[in-house]
Structure 1
Amino acid sequence: MSTNQDQRLIKLILDGNVDAFAQLVEKYKHMVYTIAFRMVKRHEDAEEVSQDVFLNVHKNLRKFKKQSKFSSWLYRIAYNRALDHLKSNRNSIMVAMDSYEKSNEPLDDEIIRGFELEDRKMVVKDALRQLSPQDNALMVFFYFEELSLKEISKITEIKENAIKVRLYRSRQRLAEILSKKMTTETIKCYGKR
């Protein structure tokens, strides 16, 4: 959906159309959850944050100024709600790692390569989790969601130059973390992308 379609849905929602709100939630629920999970690091907490975000959006939709993109406004709410959740739950944050079941069947080369790729992804995800929640969110916004520095600045209320510096430092920190966990060959493999 385009910005115009978002605006159309917003108008319908403000006119009381429940289905339009469901469409808006469906469109953005994955991104809101991703932001929340990257920051709070637990699925249950990310679901709670996501629900809070959409409740907040529904309650405050009339306050949305149509000068910026709806997605930027929504991401800002998600970012701030995740930060609030972290502040209120500092002592209860735990990192959960996904586990893989081993099969008794013999594995062929392609399956082994698939496991190796998944293992690398897990190592990178774990390394991202070791960054601060704010730096993790910046990395997600810039590299995974491919938002511009200007859009990230609107969401986080951090100046563009400061974002550049934080991204640079986060990449350095990530490389440092990965260098302890991966072989040089594997790191070079990721560096070529």
Structure 2
Amino acid sequence: MSNNIVNHLYHNRSDRELADLVLQGDREAFRVIMERTEKLVIHIISGMVPVREDREDLAQDVYLKAFRHLSGFRYEAKLSTWIARITYNACVNHLRKKRLPLVDPAISEAIDAPDDAGDPFALLSERQLAGILQQAVARLSPLLSTLITLYHQAGLGISDIAHITGLPDGTVKSYLYRARKQLQQHLLTIYQNKEAL
């Protein structure tokens, strides 16, 4: 089947229509679901799982679970949010098996950054800043990294993130605040080191 026909037949369909087609045995419809959600799944897995080989295995497991349990999807949330929840739970289970912490034990401590440190962005090019931010996000605990990624990169709202992670809205907001403070502290440290040169 040509891509134009596939695009016409599947890509304009709603989540419910695609799910119904999959449940009727249409595998092409599931491929479209995967295409629609793969960026979100990759964002979550990349933020939570440090080992690249494990990430690939987890992505396959996520879509296998989604395929097997699609009949249980109740349309209480968007299909992408449901798949993101499966992804998040798979990552949490993976971290538990590997005995890796989900949240840094020091998360409960407030991080105070100096207010008069100036603008850390002024000395950095856009490319340098993107690289530094990516490194800083990678240094966060898996949960904080995932929350930052879901909110700022995937563009999800607090309630969607709360649904995916199973955390209360207030906890998501609190953790996002703490993650931003950690990122700010990291950027200020880099800025101060550059200024000292």
The answer to whether the superposition gives a TM-score over 0.5 is: yes
Contact 1:13–1:21, Cα closer than 8 Å, also in 2: yes
What percent of counterpart residues are identical? 29
**TM-score normalised per structure 1:** 0.76
Contact 1:135–1:167, Cα closer than 8 Å, also in 2: yes
- 1:146/1:185 CA distance change after superposition, 3 Å: farther
Letter in 2 for 1:53: V
CA shift for structure 1 position 75: 0.6
The equivalent residue for 1:7 is 16
Are 2:27 and 1:18 equivalent residues in the alignment?
A: yes
* Structure 2: 5+ residue stretches without partners: 1-10, 101-123
Are 2:66 and 1:41 equivalent residues in the alignment?
A: no
For 2:77, what is the secondary structure of its paired residue? coil
**TM-score normalised per structure 2:** 0.75
> Which of 13, 21, 31 matches 2:40?
31
The whole-number CA distance in structure 2 between the counterparts of 1:150 and 1:120 is 29
Aligned runs of 1:1-193 on 2, under 5 Å? 5-90=14-99, 116-183=125-192
For 2:14, what is the secondary structure of its paired residue? helix
**Aligned positions, number:** 162
Contact 2:43–2:146, Cα closer than 8 Å, also in 1: no
Question: 4+ residue runs of structure 1 moved beyond 6 angstroms?
Answer: none
Backbone CA RMSD of aligned residues: 2.2
Letter in 1 for 2:23: L
CA shift for structure 1 position 116: 4.4
The whole-number CA distance in structure 2 between the counterparts of 1:163 and 1:150 is 9
| 1:67-114 alpha-carbon deviations (Å, 9 max, x no partner) | 2211111111111111211222247xxxxxxxxxxxxxxxxxxxxxxx
The whole-number CA distance in structure 2 between the counterparts of 1:86 and 1:150 is 24
Letter in 1 for 2:29: A
| 1:29-63 alpha-carbon deviations (Å, 9 max, x no partner) | 22211210111133322211111100010111111
- 1:155/1:20 CA distance change after superposition, 3 Å: same
The whole-number CA distance in structure 2 between the counterparts of 1:41 and 1:183 is 28
Contact 1:38–1:137, Cα closer than 8 Å, also in 2: yes
For 1:182, what is the secondary structure of its paired residue? helix
The whole-number CA distance in structure 2 between the counterparts of 1:49 and 1:160 is 26
Letter in 2 for 1:47: E
Structure of greater relative contact order (alpha carbons < 8 Å, 6+ residues apart): 2
Contact 1:153–1:160, Cα closer than 8 Å, also in 2: yes
For 1:59, what is the secondary structure of its paired residue? helix
The equivalent residue for 1:100 is none
| 1:17-40 alpha-carbon deviations (Å, 9 max, x no partner) | 111111111221222112101111
